[in-house]
Amino acid sequence: MIPSRFIADRHRFLLLLTLWALSAVLLSSCASSKFSFGPNHSNLTPTPTLVTLLPEVAVGYQVVADKSCQIASYIPITTNKVQGDLMGWKPGTEQLAYVGPENGSWSWYLGALYLVDPVAQKTLYTSTNLKVFGDLTWSPAGTSLALVSLQSGQKDSYTVLVVQPDGNRVVDLFPGQASQMDSYDSKKGVESWSDEQTFTVTAACAGDCAQTLQFNADGSGKNVVKDLRSDENTSLALSDNVLPYDAAAYPKMNQPNWSPDQNWIVSVDDDDATWILNSANKSEYRLGWLGNFIRETKWSADSKLLAIRMDNQILVLQVACQ
């Protein structure tokens, strides 16, 4: 009869042997995912770590490789003020308007208006002698662009201009002394267009007040729509497309901005990395740190192009080119 102690020792030996074999297989698997040992392994890529995947997998989004292509870059004005939209896609086109330095290299707060075609790599329009402040707002069909500008010859007074780049025409809604509605900075903002001929603006007035005014595109038909308190004036806020959403159904998103077709979302995480989410197929890819804080994002009307403004550059990306 075999002693029971021998049987117990044999069982322990077999158990240790099994654990050793399992450990060897796991170590071999990990090594093969990180290193290449010959031609049969040349296409192997590192497997994403569980730490990276857990937040996305938990809400059903798969992290994929970067699908974007950078097609153009431009220089914006530098500002730390609230100046409304400093970029805007012309409706129905892939043409981008933005505020950039008149000298083409650097300027604070004020600049020139540029209209560019990033795909064709062309500059279509550059303003002259306009001290553009911001709040670029296209009419629905893109025939006119309303914007805020520093009034020439008037200290700290702002006006609203209607620019028609195709015809190189500029209309001043608050010419000369009319721009000085307030004893301080007489700040203005563009609210919205009702149609191709009619739009509303806001203007600071004496004391703690602001007015909403309606104009025709040719500068006529000035009409006071309503009076506001200064803290009710939001005309210089960015016009991002933020849809109501359940935060638990998405990865962590700061500054989310939906594309017009609602299939794409650009956002920033807590580490200031930029992400592009595709809600149609539940995937996302990481652009990473772009070199500066993101100030503004704008989607083209066809949802194919994304403009990202930072302090030192504007990047234009095609979001699904790979």
Q: What is the DSSP string of 273-287?
A: -EEEEETTTTEEEEE
CB atoms within 10 A of CB 259: 23
Band (10; pLDDT cuts 50, 70, 90): very low
The range of the structural domain enclosing residue 310 comes to 57-66+240-318
**Assigned domain for 122 exists:** no
Answer for the pair 213, 228: CB distance below 8 angstroms, yes or no: no
What is the number of structural domains in the chain?
1
Q: Is the pLDDT of residue 180 over 80?
A: no
**Assigned domain for 138 exists:** no
**Assigned domain for 156 exists:** no
Answer for the pair 158, 107: CB distance below 8 angstroms, yes or no: no
Band (99; pLDDT cuts 50, 70, 90): very high
**Assigned domain for 90 exists:** no
Distance, in Å, from the CA atom of 262 to the CA atom of 270, rounded to the nearest integer, reads 23
What are φ and ψ of residue 153, in 5° steps? 85, -5
Total count of residues recorded for the chain: 322
**Assigned domain for 278 exists:** yes
**Assigned domain for 271 exists:** yes
pLDDT tens-digit series, residues 208-265: 788 999 999 999 999 999 988 878 888 899 999 999 999 999 999 999 999 999 999 9
Band (147; pLDDT cuts 50, 70, 90): very high
The mean of the pLDDT values for the chain is 83
**Assigned domain for 71 exists:** no
Q: Is the pLDDT of residue 45 over 70?
A: no
284 torsion bin: left (phi>0), alpha (psi -120 to 50), beta (else)? beta
- Stated as kind and residue range, the H or E segment containing 25 is helix 4-34
CATH of residue 296: 2.40.10.360
**Assigned domain for 254 exists:** yes
